[in-house]
């Protein structure tokens, strides 16, 4: 059973930074394109960023371009999301998943990590 575990969230002031991590147990992530998603209260989960298996290609939602950076370390079986210049509207629970483009593939989601940005 593959389990995705997100971490690194927290409370930060607007303009601050956080680095999220996504690790997997039970399966190596190096063969998969990975993505980050987020879900704010009362809203649907949305795509934030994606990265191909090697890390050589990335994609971002328009709302985070220039502020967020997705990366991966396949030797550590971990995917990261560096979030800079955070805004209150970035407040959400952040999740990772295997992706096909911007579409999540695996049915089982991790518990997510809460990011709260205060104004």
The CA angle 38-55-20, to the nearest 5 degrees, is: 35
Is residue 1 pLDDT above 80, yes or no?
no
Q: Smallest Cα–Cα separation from 72: which of 57, 94, 89, 51?
A: 51
Q: Is the pLDDT of residue 99 over 90?
A: yes
| pLDDT class of 8 with cuts at 50, 70, 90 | very high
Region 77-82: what's the mean pLDDT? 96
Q: Residue 23: its pLDDT value, please?
A: 94
Q: Please, what's the b/e burial string for 3-21 (b: 16 or more CB within 10 A of its CB; e: otherwise)?
A: ebebbbbeebeeeeebebb
pLDDT digits 0-9 by tens, 23-45: 988 888 888 999 999 999 999 99
Instruction: Please report the pLDDT score of residue 2 as a whole number.
Output: 76
């Amino acid at each position: 059973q593959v389990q995705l575990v997100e971490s690194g969230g927290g409370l930060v002031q607007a303009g601050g930074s956080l680095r999220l991590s996504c690790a997997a147990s039970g399966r190596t992530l190096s063969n998969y394109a990975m993505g980050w998603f987020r879900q704010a209260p009362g809203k649907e989960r949305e795509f934030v960023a994606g990265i191909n298996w090697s890390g050589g290609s990335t994609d971002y939602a328009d709302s985070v371009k220039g502020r967020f950076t997705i990366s991966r370390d396949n030797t550590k079986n971990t995917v990261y999301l560096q979030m800079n210049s955070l805004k209150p509207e970035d407040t959400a629970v952040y999740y990772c998943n295997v992706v096909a483009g911007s579409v999540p593939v695996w049915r089982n989601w991790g518990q997510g990590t809460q990011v709260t940005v205060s104004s």
